């Protein structure tokens, strides 16, 4: 059932539906509260759609506790960077702007698979190039991503 709901949401997003239509299809998915939906929802973000229509996906995944959200964010990050680099940056900056989320990201990046660490480092570097104000927030993530590599 959940897979069917996710597939329906993908179709609604692909056809460029309005935010209210996306919200209607998203509601049964988020009401389940299953953390396995985090990565698929993140991977539905697309730079081609209007921002307004996709913010519900961001808010849905951010409802989970930091440890759960960050774990699934990292698992989807390399695909998200390739498929939607702008949304990947937005999500990373939102995590970096919360001290608790940032601390959890640093903790989990250290033990993440190499592909996740590389994606996090790439994304933090790209953020730094666009906005030097994030340098203080990304430095710890970059150090954590280089641990063990």
pLDDT tens figures, 38-88: 999 999 999 887 778 899 999 999 999 999 999 999 999 999 999 999 999
Entry pTM: 0.93
Quote the pLDDT of residue 135: 94
The pLDDT assigned to 148 comes to: 53
DSSP for the chain, please give it. Answer: -HHHHHHHHHHHHHTT--HHHHHHHHHHHHHHT-GGGHHHHHTT--TTS-HHHHHHHHHHHTTS-HHHHHHHHHHHHHHHHHH-HHHHHHHHHHHHTSHHHHHHHHHHHHHS-HHHHHHHHHHHHHHHHH-GGGHHHHHHHHHHHHTT-
Taking 90 as the threshold, does the pLDDT of residue 36 lie above it?
yes
């Amino acid at each position: 059932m959940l897979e069917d709901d996710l597939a329906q949401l993908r179709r609604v997003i692909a056809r460029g539906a309005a935010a209210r239509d996306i919200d209607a299809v998203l509601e049964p998915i988020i009401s389940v509260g299953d953390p396995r939906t985090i990565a698929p929802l993140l991977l539905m973000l697309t730079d081609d759609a209007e921002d307004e229509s996709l913010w519900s996906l961001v808010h849905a995944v951010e409802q989970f506790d930091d440890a759960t959200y960050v774990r699934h964010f990292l698992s989807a990050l390399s695909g998200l960077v390739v498929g939607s680099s702008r949304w990947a940056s937005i999500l990373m900056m939102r995590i970096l702007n919360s001290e608790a989320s940032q601390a959890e990201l640093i903790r989990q990046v250290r033990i993440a698979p190499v592909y996740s660490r590389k994606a996090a480092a790439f994304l933090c570097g790209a953020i730094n190039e666009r906005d030097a104000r994030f340098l203080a927030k990304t430095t710890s993530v970059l150090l954590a991503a280089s641990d063990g590599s």
